[in-house]
Structure 1
Amino acid sequence: MELLLETVTLFCLKLAYETEDSSPILRDDPIMSDYEREVFGLLVRRGDVEAIKFRVAHCLGLALDALGGVDTPLGHELHRLLADFSNARTMEQLEAPVIALKKYLKDIQ
């Protein structure tokens, strides 16, 4: 789960901050320090669904802004997936929305 969460946040930050003329954002980039696999691993072990949702939602908000908001086709779909993610209340309920977010964000990169 922690790898999925790290990947989702990485894809979000890439959408928000990467430009064609800059070097790519990687997992070891300083911007990823609050979203590393180890950070998510700790939260997963604690079962802290709210903290996980808070961290990921922040990055999803940045990606949504980068896509032009909910009024664009890409932003509308990301907003729908974010709503599914936000509705999860347990670790088990987080898995499917996180997988869907990862697939979507990978596709639109």
Structure 2
Amino acid sequence: MELPLETVALYALKLAYEREGESPILRDDPIMSDCEREVFGLLVRRGDIEAIQFRVAHCVGLALEALGGIETPLGRELNKLFADFNAAQTMEQLEAPVIALRDYLKVIL
């Protein structure tokens, strides 16, 4: 679960901050400090769904801004997928939505 969460954060931050011709954002980039696999791993082990959703919400919010908000087709779909993720109340319920978010962000990158 930690890897897909980290990947969602990475892809979202890439959408928000990465510019053509500049160095790519990588997993060990300082911008990823609050969203590293180890951070998500700790939150997953604790079962702290709210903290996981909070961290992912920050990253997805930045990606939504980069896409032009929920008024755009890409933004509407991202918002829908995030709403499914945010509605999860157990760790098991987070699995499918985080994979859907990861896959969507990968495609639109």
TM-score, normalised with respect to structure 2: 0.99
Distance in 2, Cα, partners of 1:24 & 1:55: 21
State the Cα distance separating 1:42 from its structure 2 match: 0.2
Aligned to 1:99: 99
Q: List gaps (5 residues or longer) in structure 1.
A: none
Identity of aligned residues (%): 77
Residue 108 of structure 1 deviates from its aligned partner by 0.3
Structure 1 Cα separation of the partners of residues 25 and 58 of structure 2: 17
How many residues are aligned here?
A: 109
Matched, 1:9 2:16: no
1:79 maps to: 79
1:20 aligns with 2:20: yes
Q: 2:53 & 2:12 partners in 1: Cα distance?
A: 14
Distance 2:51 2:72 in 1: 28
- 4+ runs of 1 displaced by more than 6 Å? none
Gaps spanning 5+ residues in structure 2: where?
none
Looking at structure 2, the residues matched to 83 and 41 of structure 1 have their Cα atoms a distance apart, in angstroms, of 22
Aligned partner of 1:53 in structure 2 is 53
Taking the aligned partners of 2:48 and 2:86, their CA distance within structure 1 comes to 14
